[in-house]
Structure 1
Amino acid sequence: MSGPTPGARIVLATGNQGKLAEFRDLLAAQPQLAHLDLQAAVIDAKSAGLGEVAETGVTFEQNSLLKAREAARRTGLPAVADDSGLAVDVLGGAPGIFSARWAGRHASDENNRQLLLEQLADIGDEHRSAAFVCVASLVIPDDEGAPSAEHTAQGRMEGTLLTEERGGAGFGYDPILQPSGETRSAAQLSMSEKNALSHRGEAFSALAERIVEALT
């Protein structure tokens, strides 16, 4: 196992700083964790010295668990991971687990969004329904780094795909998805507004009690 970073209490198995900020914001709302310095207690994959984990699963749940198990094994810390993506109805649920590399393995978020917008350019509003889907996993290791407990939770944020990008906040496909009941894109919401609606916020919130137990 790698030695944990001093002060670290839990690792979020991602290099995505947007996800890390959302996760810390969620934990900051838990009164039992008010005593924790979340900047120090919650570290990401890079701070934990973790490399990329091959996402060999064929579902969000499988990939989420793969990442959380490896982070827990390597660090000896409770580990949280998620696998999430955009499911477009007219594409049969794609990009799905391939969302982060829809335009190629090393594509940027902007590349992925632009390719998807081009592919759906002739699709009318009535057929542009889509949803962000997330499965989050918490793995608590034993003294040898093997999983002693595992928990998963799923979240969805239903919406409609826009025809052009709106907003500069968020990341991934946020600028092109308008959540149901909203007039703004996900990239135009504040972090607290997004966490209250989002697929990731829903999944992480469903795990919040277990995460609090692991940290207290």
Structure 2
Amino acid sequence: MSEGPVSLPAGARIVLASHNRKKLVELQRILAPEVEGLEEEQIVSAAGLGLPDVVEDAVTFEGNALKKARSVAAATGLVAIADDSGIAVDVLGGSPGIFSARWSGRHGDDEANNDLLLAQLSDVPDEHRAARFVCAAVAVHPDGRELVCRGEMPGLVLRERHGAGGFGYDPLFVPDDQPAGQALSAGELSPEAKDAISHRGKALRQLAGRIGDLLG
């Protein structure tokens, strides 16, 4: 939490509790059109307000998301939205899971995380490389009211990177929910195509459908 009062832009209504620039763009892109009466400029970020990042030390996606959103809602007096997400690989017992962003030991090092996952699955046959992206998205009002939603995107892990789009494990993951004959990685999908089927898109659309009461 910040040391003193947080200076808020005029008209701000929602704070996104994230410092991941690529995730912030995705959150704004998905959320703004889904909430009636909400303009994109009314959605601000914790990073843009100078708030410190929150240590994600909970043991579930929901727990980490709530920890971030509660901290930011308390610091700003606005409704805070946060998510926590990761990839869960079947043959790894659901790992990396909540440790996805720091699987290699260095938080946010996408290249190292992808390299380690590829090495761990190097001898796993294609038919056993099933995985899913999981996202818990939450909204927290300063008065203590909370919403929690969850979305999943099933698919499989490739043997090498494909595509330069997205972030995290996107270049290694092929979602199941694609048109017949299409097998693009999440890193090859357009932002709009990815949003339509992604774990984060599903969770945020659920959240958007329920957030009106929190915004008043």
User: If the length of structure 2 is used for normalisation, what is the TM-score?
Assistant: 0.90
Corresponding residue of 2:23: 19
* Structure 1: unaligned runs, 5 residues or longer: none
Deviations 1:128-153 (A, max 9, x none): 000000101100113xxxx2x10000
Corresponding residue of 1:203: 203
* Structure 2 CA distance for aligned equivalents of residues 106 and 153 of structure 1: 25
* Structure 1 CA distance for aligned equivalents of residues 105 and 11 of structure 2: 37
Deviation, 1:161, is 0.2
Provide closer, same or farther for how the CA distance between residues 106 and 22 of structure 1 changes in structure 2, counting only shifts above 3 A: closer
* Structure 2 CA distance for aligned equivalents of residues 169 and 133 of structure 1: 19
Provide closer, same or farther for how the CA distance between residues 7 and 206 of structure 1 changes in structure 2, counting only shifts above 3 A: same
Q: CA RMSD in A?
A: 1.6
Corresponding residue of 2:94: 93
What is the identity percentage for the equivalent residue pairs of Structure 1 and Structure 2?
51
Alignment of 1:1-216 (within 5 A): 1-30=5-34, 32-33=36-37, 36=39, 38=40, 40-106=41-107, 108-142=109-143, 147=144, 149-182=145-178, 183-215=183-215
Deviations 1:152-208 (A, max 9, x none): 000000000000000111000100000014300001111111111000001101101
Look up the SS of the partner of 1:65 in the other structure: helix
* Structure 2 CA distance for aligned equivalents of residues 116 and 31 of structure 1: 36
* Structure 1 CA distance for aligned equivalents of residues 208 and 48 of structure 2: 22
1:92 maps to a residue whose letter is G
Aligned residues: 208
Deviation, 1:79, is 0.3
User: If the length of structure 1 is used for normalisation, what is the TM-score?
Assistant: 0.90
* Structure 2: unaligned runs, 5 residues or longer: none
* Structure 1 CA distance for aligned equivalents of residues 35 and 14 of structure 2: 17
* Structure 1 CA distance for aligned equivalents of residues 32 and 63 of structure 2: 28
* Structure 2 CA distance for aligned equivalents of residues 184 and 50 of structure 1: 37
Look up the SS of the partner of 2:141 in the other structure: strand
Look up the SS of the partner of 1:32 in the other structure: coil
Deviations 1:92-144 (A, max 9, x none): 000000000000134511110111101111110011000000101100113xx
* Structure 1 CA distance for aligned equivalents of residues 174 and 212 of structure 2: 31
* Structure 2 CA distance for aligned equivalents of residues 28 and 75 of structure 1: 20
* Structure 2 CA distance for aligned equivalents of residues 121 and 196 of structure 1: 30
2:9 maps to a residue whose letter is T
